[in-house]
Chain A
């Protein structure tokens, strides 16, 4: 009852015409930057920050939050159409989303991504409204040892992502981990693998790496193929998913939403895992895992829902504890500070109209995005009909500008060229990019949390099994290894018998 009253208060503030306008503006800008490779929500929100100085606090936050979700929705578009992941969370969407697009199911993939995101956003918003304090206290239990265990679990799950040879996937994870360690190490301050290049002191930027490894490698491979057999453009189907696709998507969306909501509340790295975890789960429980990587609709529905659920619930630590869990949240915190609001539990008691107004606007924003995005899908899939010889130079230019804009650095552009070559070689020799990128993202987090745990326990590894949450995750990791190893063992034995 109280919740309903609060929500009524929130909607009262959020649906005023001026705030709806801010929300719409934010969503539109967000969709635009989400679609443009390399231009992320962080740079855009930071740029718009001075504009918010003069706005009402609620209007300012509604607009900035709109940019954030808008970018989430828009990001999946390029991942599905062009195999260009805008951020770590849409890497997984590339795998099956792009395959679906190749088969003429781009419209269906985009529709399912948008609807799944909307559903997940709604659930995420309700969770914030109803259970934010409880969820936050759960998130607080995650400290260095728990994070290490969680990251380890994530890495093992990465093996499941592999479509081909498992040993190659492990090699790619290890290579990703190694590359992820580039930069200044946090305990001792040692610069590792920087070759004296100052741009590398803070590590390798994810965006040029992902664009090179996925987008550019795909362009080069495509041109090779077209040069040989003059393939016509990918078939363009309708934008409606088939009944079969809908049937398979619904449970995947539900599971993805659950995983994403849970991992999204963990500050410092939980959200990275959500899309990967959701994909892994789908592949593990599927009756026929071999369809994954060839355009499985579950491989789009689950990670996209997980992404968006996580994007919503990542507000929880900020709104209840005043702790920003991602760079975007740090920015939202900055916007609040400028407005003279101290983020944290005090908002709820001191400024209830602001707290509930934001929550209401989250839902309104999600609704707006699904309304904006569904008609856009028709336009996006038309893009695929543009002759490839015209399409790919445009993609290349947008990626270059995007890479440069990250920190006004030509070094990042050159680095992207290097990764493009590497990605092409990987594709030629059958090495997969997804496990590599997961290793890259998790490597530094894992090392940092492991070493910190060891310092905290004065060198006693028992710390990882003493804590119930950490122990539970580690046990789950062991179970996952068994799940991977047993069928593998069985199939090699079968092959050995059949193929003397």
Chain B
């Protein structure tokens, strides 16, 4: 088992390799052309290859040279923040702005373990009203206040 001495570099490298490899695969059919008559595939392929190369360098360096470790995640903030955004995306067109903001605020507040329920309820209702007034009435955005559409 190889011991990773610099996890930040190592995982950056891994990420770059992954992105580069995916881009190479997705772009495999784009027409290359030549440097003089570049096709749409020329630059993507060049960049993907460069990214893989940089990734390899970083990964190897990460194994070889000591460096800072990665701070551990709590997972709770990440899960609820991402969930809150996704919930907003799912709700805005089906239920309208007010309900979407209401639920999203609650999900977002859950990301912090300092959450207090009474306060969050007030905040959610307040944000709901504010966003309707601000975005729909004041800024004239084309969104439904509330609706029911599937």
Identify the closest chain A residue to B10 (Cβ).
A429
The count of A-to-B residue pairs whose CB atoms sit within 8 angstroms is: 204
Query: Given the complex, which residues of B lie within 8 Å of A404, measured CB to CB?
Result: 88-89, 92, 143
Identify the closest chain B residue to A186 (Cβ).
B40
Partner pick for A227 among B44, B68, B77, CB 8 A cutoff: B77
Instruction: State which residues 43-68 of A face B: CB under 8 Å.
Output: 44, 47
Query: Given the complex, which residues of B lie within 8 Å of A416, measured CB to CB?
Result: 85
Minimum CB–CB distance from A390 to chain B (whole Å) comes to: 6
User: Of the 9-residue stretches A122-130, A249-257, A297-305, A420-428, which lies at the interface with chain B?
Assistant: A420-428
A394 CA to B8 CA, complexed, in Å: 32
Minimum CB–CB distance from B42 to chain A (whole Å) comes to: 9
Instruction: State which residues 68-83 of B face A: CB under 8 Å.
Output: 68, 70-71, 73-74, 76-78, 81-82
A168 CA to B85 CA, complexed, in Å: 29
B127 lies within 8 A of chain A by Cβ? yes
Majority-rule SS of B interface residues:
helix
Query: Given the complex, which residues of A lie within 8 Å of B30, measured CB to CB?
Result: 190, 192
Question: Does B104 lie within 8 Å of A178, measured CB to CB?
Answer: no
Beyond A219-B81, A400-B84, A429-B7, 17 extra complex contacts between A and B, CB < 8 Å: A168-B12, A178-B44, A190-B40, A192-B44, A193-B27, A224-B74, A227-B74, A227-B113, A388-B112, A393-B105, A394-B123, A400-B92, A408-B143, A414-B85, A429-B11, A430-B9, A460-B36
B residues adjacent to A (C-beta < 8 A): 7-9, 11-12, 15-16, 19-20, 23, 26-27, 30-31, 35-41, 43-44, 47-48, 50-51, 54-55, 57-58, 68, 70-71, 73-74, 76-78, 81-82, 84-86, 88-90, 92-93, 97, 100-101, 104-105, 108-109, 111-116, 119-120, 123, 127, 131, 134-135, 138-143
A-B contact pairs, 22 of them (CB 8 A): A39-B135, A39-B139, A171-B55, A171-B58, A174-B16, A174-B47, A190-B40, A193-B23, A220-B77, A224-B73, A224-B74, A226-B112, A397-B101, A400-B92, A401-B135, A404-B143, A410-B89, A410-B90, A417-B85, A421-B82, A451-B38, A459-B36
A residues adjacent to B (C-beta < 8 A): 32-33, 36, 39, 44, 47, 165, 167-168, 170-171, 174-175, 177-178, 181, 185, 187-188, 190, 192-193, 195, 216, 219-220, 223-224, 226-228, 387-390, 392-394, 396-398, 400-401, 404-405, 408, 410, 413-414, 416-417, 420-421, 424-425, 428-431, 447, 450-451, 454-455, 459-461
